[in-house]
Structure 1
């Protein structure tokens, strides 16, 4: 540092003023380039920024809030290794004794690993019954990302395999530049599962078509087997095959008008027939849902749950979450994210299937959630949206005859949306 160099104070002052910027530069901007000014400038900067508690908190937050690795890749493992090393070195420079932190740090970092990398680490341990060594863990991470870089493996799955099938209720538009042509229509730019010719076929002919073109029987895309497919399974039996290939699934025919527009497939929804309301005044307690069929009295009821979300201060805030069994991602509203005051990461994601059309998220957060009634707790990533669903209920329904406890509130605001992998 300039303060520790053997040079005239006037020269130190010149180096100081030419190498600081932002708020620090404004703080000493008014001081002239003289020897007497240097001591004053250095003291002002020390008083403002030499805050050991604040620096320690910032380093610990960066260490603990690292992104959870969902798919193994050289870049994600290298980032985990480098950020951890940088934070621990910073804590050491601040005078903290971290020699006895090894078991705690290794435990926290293991929870950031994907399943494959975690399994490889467990296999690499020479003494699995002994307390883990941080040096050995960091050496394993370094060896692992070097191996992936050497093999040219930037991730476990290719971009085509990462694309969720269009059948799911919530899907992500992952690689817009690459277009998959339909093998049955000789080059038409649409997926096989939305091909009219394919939908006209019987179940036996669909299976024969998939086998002929060597497609994955789960997502109907080429390049991998169903056993390695990460797309959603059959929505009728949860088997490792596409819903269009489900045994006993009737042929899907186009409309009588011959509309050849692509068809989207969504998970099955539970329909409930409701009694007609009389002309008398309706009780203030009502519920609502979205209609999914042309029947005027048929509605879908949304499953929700009240959970506790951890804020940046360590306290918990109650919020209502939508249990979306058709979603592949988790979402949180901007309002709840601001209330939690948690760190937001810049990441752009375009989401299809939420509301009417598509939405775009530019921020991602790490969430710590726990149950209000059990010991269940989980950490996960969520994308930030301005709104997940409109305020509920969207339609007033007479529920006077329903046996609902008095302490249950049916008029709710959805602040989160949880994917099936979180709660099932």
Structure 2
């Protein structure tokens, strides 16, 4: 009679010991292959416990006459429930640990052989081994991935695991276990060394917190920039959560840090959200960033498509074709330093030079090795292309003209020749020039002719060439217009935008690599591009254009201001640039791709 009860007690104790062992194995994150094999053997042995228990129960029922069958049945039910619960958990745990299949160094995952024929023929792409170079911020990802693919795979021998581990390590991490040979005994040693070396919670937390503080700050609105902030924030906050940091209590701190990285437009959009009763939460910040990124990326893609539709690539011969290369030829005379007094003005406007006689002017010009015809340096007089003296037509500058009297004697110009008297003498010439050359500044003529150069003389022989300029509307990312002074250049294959205008409009900048060729075949590399919408200041014409970004496009145009009233332009003509005679900067240059559309519209 005692034998049956002792057998039942021993069986129940054996099941309890198996349960305690399984719970210990289950809580261990770094299981070895030996641990899994031992668990499997114990589980197989535990399968016999139910039979042993039932045999003991039958023995008790057969030998004992005063048995309480209700209690006897309850004992059997409790044991069976406990048995099936423990063994099913152990079986599932073993199946989960056996799931990864590693067949090659690239870790291929194949479908089970008993799957249907269609799925069995599908070959999945290889899963590459994770790599680790010793960076603390990559340790958690490497540890979890390697543990799932290699470390917990009981089908691999420790020697193979050690080989895969060596293949996965680079740099400092590889040096950590470089002294260990590949063997069954050394795998656990190597894995434990890596865990002790890089499982440093203090350093890991510090690195991820520092990375959040070091997220990039935006100077202008950019979908790409906000996406970098969003992805980085989610990555590091997720890692800190895995490290069991109380990130759920960091909402106010994270919101303060991240919103400090916003540009002015994004910051205003964030501040416009009302948080009256409660402080903003981390989830609300993430939702805001996702919506903002979606809107900006959609806008930037739309601008890119519209600009691409407008851009017509010029045809080039095969021998002269260069990828991402365009040409632009815009030149202005920006050298205003006087060669006579070394002050900041041109020599033919120099008060000291104008005060001396024509003979002294000639002598000084020769001493300074100036061109006698244009009073410039850098070329010989015989190679000068200027037209010559405006008074006699001889090949010398007007300031060097000698007046001849009827008696044949030579007299010099009046030293006090004023600007107004000079303009009076040349006013007729200017009228003739204006009638054929000012059409590039007129917007409402029936037809706008090709641009011409207009030479305006403010002081004797002070040449200023007028290039085609206009005042147009340029729109920022919020569709607000700004007036901008542009240069119309039919000789340029690209449009150009100044950094000053980009900062003013806060346009999103795209990083590119583009070469442009200018005067004397000088090549310059452009690294930035923007897309913008422009509109006429007089009509409804508008276009989306792509512009290369330059620090500055050119100097002031025109180089010197002059009095436009001397041209006697009819007052009923609306000019594209009403202040075309004032020396002002250029922030946008429109090239040939849109220039002829403007000419066609008129």
Q: TM-score scaled by structure 1?
A: 0.41
Q: Rg: which structure is higher?
A: 2
**TM-score normalised by L of structure 2:** 0.30
Structure richer in helix, relative to its length: 2
